[in-house]
Structure 1
Amino acid sequence: MEMLALQSEQQLPRQTLARNESVATVDEIQGSPSPCHGVDGGDSKDGETSGYSIPFLPEDIWRHIHSLMPVDAAARAACLSHTFLSSWRCYPKLILNWHTLCSKARDGNLRGRIDNILRNHSGIGLKILRLRLHSPSICFPYIDNWLQVAVTPGIEELTLCLHKKYKFPCSLLSDGVRSSIQSLQLDSCVFHPMLELGPLRSLTRLILRDVCITGEELECLLSNSLALEHLDLCTCKEIVFLKIPSALLQLSYLRVCGCWDLQVIENKAPSLSTFTLVGQVSKLSLGEASQMMKVLSLQYPNVVCYARAKLPSIMPNLETLVLGSSAEVNTPMLSTKFLNLKHLTIQISGETLPPSYDYFSLVSFLDASPSLETWYLEVYPEDMEHESVFEGSSDLRQLPEYRHDSLKTVEIIGFSSARCLVELTCCIVRSAVSLERLTLDTLRGGGRCSGRNDGDSSDQICSPVSKAVVKEAFRGVAAIRKYIEDKVPSTAKLVVLEPCPWCHTTTVLDYFGM
């Protein structure tokens, strides 16, 4: 009797599995006893039964118990038990990828492993199938066969991620599949759905990444997916015109990232409340959903100034705003307000910023957002050409007699000694009477070691940065101590993330001329 175990010329060590995406470890499955000696069968000798027995329960109860096990535990149980071997054929969740199946074996073993797993599964009862196969040894006929076995009526989630363009067969989406599937994710595929495809009655989540599909084909698919709630498009290069039909009454989330040929986005779905756009389009129309928008994320040049000038009147109910810009002009002070804005994130790349750019102009967002509670600002000081606060006049600009009653948390990543940045921070500290925490990171966030105790021989070090950046970070620390620290109220916590005393020792000595 063929085991679930996958046959290989060598035993493989047990793999460490990603959380929520585990599969049966190869050594445990290969080393499992034959099902005829399973724990629920036992062996008899001289009238005595050896091994363990399990209580009699109806088959549907055992299947339910088996379905609640993680995949690796379920596979091991199937190798040890007749009962579970039978229920494995209807196990509801298969997650198959190179890293968890044979990360320490040659690619040639991968096909056989997946073949054996699917050969022992009937396809009946399978609700979740995730195939992440970034291996050049996997040719398309094998994928066709696997999908024919696994994608059957009743499936609820299908994820297919490949290393090159695979022509996804729309014939897989039979009437029974279309009625049950709730989540579909395709990566590196060719997908040409036509109007005759028929309705996907239960589809609520659609993710297409690096998929060859035209705007017209996508519109046909969307028109057949009236229950859709979540749409994510990434690097779909053939889409020029994205049209979201008004019939998508449940659509609340839309993300468009890296579709560089996209020129027009026209949304008519009335319930869209979360929208992300990475990349600029010539025309963006969100329709009546603009009035309902709660969460907005935009990333393209000069978007900060645009957002301050246009969005308060277009999106009056906005609560969370994320802005990313690689080039920017000063933000104007205007009378319009973000009355409901609570969370603001602004990321500005310094690579193309002119020395004349004034970070202090961002105080316009503070003035315009009376309900603002958290503000995250990330700047890039690597090529800072702004005037330092230690140069020129010691007088700092501020907003006279300004008070902000809601702001509680502020974090500035990439803090430097730039005069305009110090002025912005001082203005925040003076006006935010409810401030609870101010974090100033002088080295732009992640990549820090966890610190070392005396005698710690750990090789972990901070991410490398240039000596110029580290020197400016020390100047930023000095600016904090001189201009900001004593202005922080006693009710607020000031967190200053300085250069690492272990990894940047040489730079410290150079900076102080030692």
Structure 2
Amino acid sequence: MRNHSGIGVKILELQPFFIAYHNLNSWLQVAVKPGIEELTLMLCDWIFRKTYKFPLSLFSDGVRSSIRCLELGFCTFHPTAELGPLRSLTSLHLSSVRIRGDELHCLLSNSLALETLELNECNGIVCLIIPSKLQRFSFLRIFGCGRLKLIESKAPNLSTIDFSGKTLSMLHSDVICYARTELPSIMPNLDALKLSSSDEVVNTPMLPTKFLYLKHLTIHLGLGPSPYDYFSLVSFLEASPSLETLNLDVSKKPMDNETIFGHSPHLRQMTEDQHCYLKNVKITGFSSAKGLVELTCYILKNAVSLKCLTLDTNYAFFGKCSGSGFGQCGSFGKSLREARRALRAIRTYIEDKVPTRVKLTVVGPCSRCHKLP
């Protein structure tokens, strides 16, 4: 070990009856030197996972600057903020490692060059958040992490996901199109999906692929400059026969040429396809955009089990009225004008299509602060 001069160290299949296990820290202190690029430590025994704690002291300044690939298996690993940045780390693979989600997030936040992350049976992770500062991060693989309930990706260039769990949250531009195009084949068992997009350049395509087990869908579409046809979201409804709840948060205000009052009153129709499980739909930031009105009418016609439909014409980033009697609440200007136009669209095109079994809740601007038609 003292004569080791390579750039990588691999310790594989070390068994607990080897006396070398008791000297492992000493071995690693000798072997892991500044300039090292690869370190693989796979102890391959569940006993080690409880008893062996990977020493953070190995990551000296020189090691943190040089190490590119780190692979750990069957041990305990508790990175902290004091660890410092791993400037060259591009690949991280953890297998049966005892680590919490906040500890992993700390490590990711200090690994700005990271490109790939693989997690295998790391059951201490409940929530995985991938920071937006990981500009090079493009590949995520997760298998057998039984307690993992939520993945939220803020990395802008994540392009490949291999995932065996049920709940996924993704945040970046064009994620709605990406999710509809790619996720049914690589994540067929999704139970819940949350998508947040700052801008969608293209509308959501109609495809034959399905989310057979998807029950809960949340979509947030931000203030990006590109026009978007909300009616194209029918693609998700057609692909999700088990869907129970749909939450759509729309911060975009329609341009004058997008409002239904600037178009022919004829509404587009889709081939009738009954949705037997969809019970609750909420649209926040509901506007007079023609595609949004058409999407709502499609839901009312085809969601045969629908119980509650909420159309909130206020935008999520506006404050609610406090009711204190001082000042006005946050809806004003163009947003207030659009909210009034949205209420008119609901009365004109939607209210008479609501079945008696459905509870329609319409939320408008505060009547105390604003005079409504």
Residue 333 of structure 1 aligns with which residue?
206
How big is the shift at 1:351?
Answer: 2.7
Per-residue CA deviation, residues 60-98 of structure 1 (Å, 9 max, x unaligned), is xxxxxxxxxxxxxxxxxxxxxxxxxxxxxxxxxxxxxxx
Residue 145 of structure 2 corresponds to 271
> RMSD over aligned Cα, in angstroms?
3.6
Sequence identity (%):
39
1:372-387 equivalences under 5 Å are 372-382=243-253, 384-387=255-258
2:363 maps to 1:493: no
Q: What SS does the aligned partner of 2:260 have?
A: coil
1:468 equivalent in alignment to 2:329: no
CA distance in structure 1 between the aligned counterparts of 2:158 and 2:177, rounded to whole angstroms: 17
Q: Residues 3-402 of structure 1 correspond to what in structure 2 (within 5 A)?
A: 212-214=85-87, 216=89, 219=92, 226-228=97-99, 230=101, 231-232=104-105, 235-236=109-110, 238-244=112-118, 246=120, 248=122, 251=125, 253-267=127-141, 269-271=143-145, 274-281=150-157, 283-286=159-162, 290=163, 292-328=164-200, 329-354=202-227, 357-382=228-253, 384-402=255-273
* Equivalent in the alignment of 1:477: 343
Q: 1:459 — aligned with what? A: 326
In structure 1, how many angstroms separate the alpha carbons of the residues matched to 2:91 and 2:242?
Answer: 39
Contact (CA 8 Å) 1:263, 1:281: kept in 2 or not?
yes
1:274-330 deviation line (CA, Å, top 9, x unaligned): 4221122265343xxx2x220111111211111111111111100111111122111
- The answer on whether the counterparts of 2:121 and 2:145 sit within 8 Å (CA) in structure 1 is no
**Which one has the largest radius of gyration?**
1
Distance 1:447 1:207 in 2: 37
Contact 1:350 1:384 in 2 (8 A): no
Contact 1:338 1:369 in 2 (8 A): yes
- Structure 2 vs 1, CA of residues 368 and 214 (structure 1 numbering), >3 Å: closer, same or farther? same
Residue in 2 that maps onto 1:419: 290
| Alpha carbons 1:381, 1:415 under 8 Å: kept | no
- The TM-score with structure 2 as length reference comes to 0.71
How many angstroms apart in 2 are the aligned matches of 1:314 and 1:303?
15
* Shift in alpha-carbon separation, 1:417–1:247, aligned structure 2, 3 A: closer
Residues of 2 paired with 1:365 and 1:304: CA distance? Answer: 10
**2:232 match: secondary structure:** helix
Q: Say whether the 8 Å CA contact 2:88–2:111 is kept in structure 1.
A: no
Q: 1:495 to 1:299 in 2, by over 3 A?
A: same
CA distance in 2, matches of 1:389, 1:409: 24
Q: Secondary structure at the match of 2:219?
A: strand
Distance in 1 separating the partners of 2:274 and 2:267: 18
Structure 1 residues 363 and 207, CA gap change in structure 2 (3 angstroms)? farther
Cα distance, 1:403 vs structure 2: 1.1
Q: Give the C-alpha shift of residue 271 in structure 1.
A: 2.8
Assess if the C-alpha contact under 8 Å between 2:64 and 2:88 holds in 1.
Answer: no
Q: Which of the pair has the greater relative contact order for Cα pairs under 8 Å at 6+ separation?
A: 2
The 5 A counterparts of 1:402-413 are: 402-413=273-284
One-letter identity of the residue aligned with 2:360? L
Give 3-state SS (helix, strand or coil) of 1:216's partner: coil
Letter in 1 for 2:279: K
Q: Distance in 1 between matches of 2:122 and 2:203?
A: 38
Q: Which runs of 5+ in 1 are unaligned?
A: 1-177, 182-190
Is the alpha carbon distance of 1:270 and 1:358 closer, same or farther for their aligned partners in structure 2, counting shifts above 3 Å?
same
SS at match of 1:489: coil
Count of aligned pairs: 307
Q: Which residue of 2 aligns with 1:167?
A: none
Letter in 1 for 2:133: C
Could you say if the C-alpha distance between residues 179 and 503 of structure 1 is closer, same or farther in structure 2, counting changes exceeding 3 Å? Answer: farther
CA shift, 1:445, in A, is 2.9
Cα deviation, 1:183-236, whole Å, max 9, x if unaligned, reads xxxxxxxx95999xx999566x8786996334639949x57x812353435754
Distance in 2 (CA, whole Å) between partners of 1:242 and 1:271 is: 17
Q: Is the 8 A contact 2:135 2:156 kept in 1?
A: no
Q: Classify 1:279/1:217 alpha carbon distance in 2 versus 1 (closer, same or farther; 3 Å).
A: closer
Contact 1:408 1:434 in 2 (8 A): yes
CA distance in 1, matches of 2:196, 2:82: 21
Name the CA shift for 1:282/1:369 in 2 (closer, same or farther; >3 Å).
Answer: closer
Give 1:474 deviation, angstroms. Answer: 0.4
1:393 shift after superposition: 1.6
**One-letter amino acid matched to 1:500:** C
Do 2:112 and 2:135's aligned partners in 1 also have CA atoms closer than 8 Å? yes
